[in-house]
A and B are shown apart, each in its own frame.
Chain A
Amino acid sequence: MTKNGNINDSYAAKVRMKSIGVMIFLIALTIICLLPIYILFVNSTRSSQNIINEGISFLPNGHFFKNIKETIRLDEIGTINYSAAVGYRNSAIITIGASFLTVFFSAMTAYGLVVYDFKAKTPAYTAILLVMMVPVQVTSVGFVQFMNQIGLTDTYWPLILPAAAAPPIVFYMRQYMKSSFPLDIVEAARIDGTGEFRTFLTIGLPMMKPALGVQAIFSFISNWNNFYTPSMILISREEKQLTMPMMVSSILSNDKLSDLGVRYIAIFLSILPVIIIYCILSRTIVDGVAEGGVKE
């Protein structure tokens, strides 16, 4: 009896030691994850003098709004090519437009693949899967050349329209529909005399709301963060057209800017919207990743 008691105790003790060790490791990892962003925030609340004189600091200061005002001032006199307001507006236009097209047309394509039976169904689906493999750089050279030839560079059309063809999203929606969309409803709607497209809009889409929601969020984040395609298309770097990542890039390569507080706040403002969205919707996002292996 005593022997068994000892073995149980030592096993329990071992498990507890391991748990404690793991917790310490996880806390350290948490700090590493959050520290860069925290320092970014802290430094964006300090004045440039403060950053230079006092080196690193972990406590926020009071210069947040002064730094923002400084970016506006420097932008007006032309020292920097950065404006949070313009950047937000531009990024929002592209992001919202692209996300809407992606979610709507992916749902429509998935609906077509699941609800209907037609000869080209399997080849079409395979084709969609294959498209997923092609890296964006491979098509981008030909893409920008083509846009140049038809005069669409320096506009937002090439940044929004292609979003309607998004293979991973179609894949995700199709999986979702196959497991939770009852095809009888379509039959019932036909008996009632509803047209096919109207069935899709009034019955199909509402039933897919969770999938639509998750994909809308991922699409938003992915489009907001997209730096490559706008850099390729918006060739004349006109300030009134720049997206947020491009504005951050212009701050980086700016030699005339010596105000460190302004640099930090420029970076901070660029990620603020995504961070806010993440704070509100983190559980949905993390669950969505587990479900679908979503590409960023």
Chain B
Amino acid sequence: MRSSAQNKIRSISYAKYGYMFILPFFIIYFIFQLFPLLNTFKLSLYGNGDAATNTFVGLQNFKDLIIGEGNLSVVAQHKNVIRVFQNTLILWFGNFIPQLALSLLLAVWFTDINLKIKGKTFFKIVMYLPNIVTAASVAALFLMLFSKTKYGPINSLLMGMGMEKPIDFVRNEWNSRFVIMFAQTWMWFGNTMIMLMAAIMGISPSLFEAADIDGANSRQVFTKITVPLLRPMVIYVMITSMIGGLQMWDLPYLFREGTTTNRFTETIAVYIYNHFHNVPHNYGYSAAASVLLFIVTAALGSVCFIMNIDKDAVAKKKQIKEAKKQMKMQRKSSFGGF
């Protein structure tokens, strides 16, 4: 028999502490992220330029950017937005594909039991190093290394090997893009490699052993075991890289001549920044472009989310539901039926 005191103790709920512990997070989140997000939406419905910032223009900004009909400046903005989306895509593809190929190759090599590689830890450490270097400094460094004068280290090296004129890596369309793609790959391949390695090591080793016993060579193991089981991780890496690629700002912004924006590497993020920061302050366009970016990111995120739903767990839940239904029907029929 429980005393009333014991009963009382049993009914103490600590649930309120749960609320208290998570409260600071949500307070800060509401003030510094949720409200600003709604503010961005609101700003996208208002005007541009210092004079018009408080005029409500509805969806005009979006119409201007997406369709681009109207006076010359509207058409120019529309073309700009198309251009920056293109730039963003080009820069992302050019960075992601080599990066994924390289990281996958390295991850497979590093986890291959047959391949004896000395100093794996050293290589991992060296290859992750570019990831922690400040992106702004990487941009500055590469801007100096690829300088178009003959004092630039790269150019001086190339000219020492017999090239006649120095290459312009900053103002030339594809040269500057190449440097950005190279720099991004340089910075991120170590990170991707380590994540893929973790995913490969998550595959049960008994599968690899069975394949080894069956006499499969490295290529067969790769195509028939590693790649299919790695698919979720590769998709995750792809989506996070895409979302990261949409936000590329440090490198494309700084890799330029003086203070003029580089037209060929201007990504969406740079566009948003410029219209916000430079005079005239086109808050409307900046916010509208941000909203477009948000929509694209949300779409990609949903794709990732859908792909990650544990199909087995969903199927099991369905089964349980079905079983419950059956039992209910049985009980009903055995009770009221004849």
Contact = CB atoms under 8 A, between A and B. Distances in A.
A64 to B, nearest CB: 17
B135 A116 contact: no
Interface in B77-134: 106, 109, 114-118, 121, 123-134
A22 interface: yes
Contact of A267 (B29, B141, B191): B141
B290 interface: yes
Contact of A134 (B33, B268, B272): B33
B58 interface: no
Interface residues of B, number: 96
Interface string A86-122: 0000000000000000000110110111011111110
Interface string B167-189: 00000000000000000001000
A34 interface: yes
Contact of B132 (A200, A278, A293): A278
B17 A231 contact: no
B134 A274 contact: yes
Interface centre among B24, B39, B130, B141 (most CB of A within 10 A): B141
B36 A142 contact: yes
A43 B153 contact: yes
B72 interface: no
A72 to B, nearest CB: 19
A243 to B, nearest CB: 9
A143 B128 CA distance: 32
Residue from B123, B151, B269, B298 with most neighbouring chain A CB atoms (10 Å): B151
A26 B105 CA distance: 11
Interface string B3-37: 00000000000111111111011101100110111
A33 B195 contact: no
Interface residues of A, number: 96
Interface stretch (B223-231, B245-253, B320-328, B329-337): B245-253
B265 interface: no
A150 to B, nearest CB: 10
A252 B143 contact: yes
A192 B63 CA distance: 65
- Provide the main secondary structure of the chain A interface: helix
A109 B33 contact: no
A136 B247 contact: yes
B68 interface: no
B141 A36 contact: yes
Interface stretch (B40-48, B206-214, B310-318): B40-48
A106 B195 CA distance: 23
A222 B325 CA distance: 52
A62 to B, nearest CB: 19
A78 interface: no
B28 A162 contact: yes
B254 interface: yes
Contact of A33 (B32, B127, B290): B127
A34 B126 contact: yes
A39 interface: yes
Contacts of A118: 15-16, 18-19
A158 B32 contact: yes
B117 A23 contact: yes
A109 B21 contact: yes
A13 interface: no
A137 B17 contact: no
A162 B32 CA distance: 6
Nearest to A116: B18
Interface of A: 15, 18-19, 22-23, 26, 29-30, 32-34, 36-37, 39-40, 43, 51-52, 55-56, 105-106, 108-109, 111-113, 115-121, 124, 128, 131, 133-146, 158, 161-162, 164-165, 170, 190, 196, 200, 221, 224-225, 227-228, 231-232, 235, 244-246, 248-249, 251-253, 255, 260, 263-264, 267, 270-271, 274-275, 278, 282-283, 285-286, 289-291, 293, 295-296
Across the A-B interface, the 4 shortest Cβ-Cβ residue pairs = A112-B21, A142-B39, A116-B18, A55-B156
9 contacts: A106-B25, A118-B18, A121-B18, A134-B297, A141-B290, A143-B32, A249-B140, A274-B132, A289-B194
